[in-house]
Amino acid sequence: MSMISGLISYLRGNEKKTAIVAKERLQIILAHERAGRGAPAPDYLPALQEELMVVIAKYIHIDRESINVQLEKHGEYDVLELNITLPDKMRLNR
Amino acid sequence: MSKVIVVTSGKGGVGKTTTSASFSSGLALRGNKTVVIDFDVGLRNLDLIMGCERRVVYDIINVINGEVSLKQALIKDKNCDNLYILPASQTRDKEALNLEGVERILNELRETFDYIVCDSPAGIESGAFTAMYFADEALVVTNPEVSSVRDSDRILGILAAKSKRAVDGLDSVKEHLLVTRYDPKRVEAGEMLSVTDIQEILRIPLIGVIPESESVLQASNAGTPAIHLDKSDVAEAYRDVVGRFMGEEGLPMRFVTVEKKGFFKRLLGGR
Ligand SMILES: Nc1ncnc2c1ncn2[C@@H]1O[C@H](COP(=O)(O)OP(=O)(O)OP(=O)(O)O)[C@@H](O)[C@H]1O
Ligand SMILES: [Mg+2]
């Protein structure tokens, strides 16, 4: 639902109460912020991303924005997350 | 053993100074030797709320710099025998408040006082950090509003990771959630986060709920901490907070639901 239509239905009175919206928004943003807390991102991440980029580009045509490397904390564990968005029609080099 | 308690929030204007004044007064009223310190260097305000602004001669920076003794800088409260105020400096900058100096002062205060209450400035910069660094316990003042709750969460993260207790590997700082400026009417209308919502999000024990009230302004106008007001919900709520802090059990959480007006109250138009 777009913001405008959300606002309209809120004004009509058939939208979720704003307190519930507030709570849900807080739960989402704080889960994210708590995960990102703790140790700062290690400084090898940009270099790692760069080298992965080179390797992947050998096989798949992707641009720089389609690959994303980040470190997240899941409870006890640090998880290295690698996100590659493949182009719509995946074209292989060979 | 004396205790250092920081009153903190991250977000500004949520009621830290109002709380520091009433909480320290409440501790003193119960016979505890108490001192309340203004850490808001450059924006001193606790003196006004305590009503001692005209008796400020020296401040915490003078003591840190060794220009005067602690005894010379402490101001005796006008309402409570056991309460002293250590004002912030109005003219120096925050950097004058270094950790070593503050530690020296706190150690000296620990020899005389049971409770040392630190009124933190807003933010998460050096002033707020210095105020919380030596804390044994923390009152995390939170308004039922998204940005205040988020900032409180941030402060909890800093307490858990960067306070002296965390750095030294001691027992962690004991955290208490204090919800202030609470309006049960708006909560019941679904327009305001409820205490339960806030507790569920921040996940720390609740020490009290202070209702939104016009009497807080009247108290600050007069320079008398709100806890001294007669027949005021805010005063009662702060007294409950002090009771719980001192370990009194079974105090019900008051002022969290809409008060149903009785027939006579309605007749007399009271609110
Ligand atoms: N329970 C309450 N009901 C109504 N108004 C309140 C309440 N608590 C605090 N206030 C008002 O909110 C304003 C801010 O309060 P206060 O100065 O205690 O906040 P603070 O957190 O110390 O602010 P700062 O971050 O600037 O130091 C004041 O005008 C005060 O009168
Ligand atoms: Mg203040």
Q: Which of B153, B190, B201 is nearest residue A19 as measured by Cβ atoms?
A: B190
Please name which of B243, B34, B15 lies closest in space to residue B122, comparing C-alpha atoms: B15
ipTM confidence score: 0.85
The Cα B237–Cα B209 span in angstroms is 7
Q: For residue B182, which atom of ligand 1 is closest to its CA? A: 1
Our CA-based measurement puts residue A37 at a distance from the nearest CA of chain B, in whole angstroms, of 8
Q: What is the pLDDT of residue A9?
A: 61
pLDDT at A35: 80
Closest residue CA from atom 25 of ligand 1: B12
Q: Alpha-carbon distance B241 to B226, whole Å?
A: 13
Is 70 exceeded by the pLDDT of residue A83? yes
B161, B198 in Cβ contact below 8 A? no
Residues of A with CB below 8 A from B124's CB? none
pLDDT digit string (tens) for B91-141? Answer: 777 778 899 999 999 999 999 999 999 999 999 989 999 999 999 999 999
Contact A26 B154 (CB under 8 A): no
Best probe of the B interface among A26, A28, A73, by most B CBs < 10 A, is A26
Model pLDDT, residue B20: 98
Q: Please tell me the pTM assigned to this model.
A: 0.82
Residues with CB under 6 A from ligand 1: B 9, 12-18, 40, 121-122, 180-181, 210, 212-213, 216-217, 220, 234
Taking CB atoms and an 8 Å cutoff, what residues of chain B touch A38?
A: 161
Mean pLDDT of A51-75: 79
Contact present, B116 and B109 (Cβ < 8 Å): yes
Of A20, A30, A38, which has the smallest distance from its Cβ to B201's Cβ?
A30
Inspect the interface and report whether the beta carbons of A18 and B190 lie closer than 8 Å: yes
pLDDT, tens digit, 9 for 90 and up, residues B7-19: 999 999 999 999 9
Task: Determine which of B197, B199, B200, B202 to mutate to test the interface with A (most A C-beta atoms within 10 Å).
Answer: B197
Q: How would residue B271 be classed by pLDDT, with cut points 50, 70 and 90?
A: very low
For B192, the closest chain A residue by CA position comes to A19
| H helices, E strands: number in chain B | 13, 8
The CA distance from B201 to B181, in Å, is 18
**Residues ≥6 apart with Cβ < 8 Å to B227:** B21, B22, B23, B25, B26, B29, B234, B235, B238, B239, B242
Helices A18-36 & B195-202 angle (0-180, nearest 10)? 10
Query: For residue A12, what pLDDT is reported?
Result: 61
Mutation pick for ligand 1 pocket among B120, B147, B216 (CB with most ligand atoms within 8 Å): B216
Q: Which of B16, B18, B140, B236 to mutate to test the pocket of ligand 1 (most atoms within 8 A of CB)?
A: B18
Q: Read off the pLDDT of residues B150-200 as tens digits, 9 standing for 90 and up.
A: 999 999 999 999 999 999 999 999 999 999 999 999 999 999 999 999 999
Query: Phi/psi of residue B267, each to 5°?
Result: -60, -40
How many Å lie between the centroid of ligand 1 and the Cα of residue A37? 29
